[in-house]
Structure 1
Amino acid sequence: MAPESRPERPRRVHRTNWMSLLCGLLFIGMGIRYLTAPEPDAVVMAPVLVGGLGFAAFVAILAKAIRR
Structure 2
Amino acid sequence: MARDPERRPGQTHPTDWLALLCGLLFIGVGVRYMIAPAPDSVMMLLVLIVGLGFSAFVAILSKVARKR
TM-score range, shorter chain: 0.7 to 0.9
Q: What TM-score results when the alignment is normalised by the length of structure 1?
A: 0.83
Sequence identity percentage: 62
- The aligned residue for residue 3 of structure 1 is none
Offset at residue 10 of structure 1 (A): 4.3
Unmatched tracts of structure 2, length 5 or more: 1-7
Q: What TM-score results when the alignment is normalised by the length of structure 2?
A: 0.83
Mark the structure with the bigger radius of gyration: 1
What's the CA shift string for 1:16-65, capped at 9, x where partnerless?
00000000000000000000111111011000000000000000000000
Q: Give structure 1 regions of 4+ aligned residues with deviation exceeding 4 angstroms.
A: none
- The aligned residue for residue 55 of structure 1 is 54
Q: Provide the secondary structure at the position in 1 that maps to 2:38.
A: coil
Give the AA of the match of 2:22. C
Unmatched tracts of structure 1, length 5 or more: 1-8
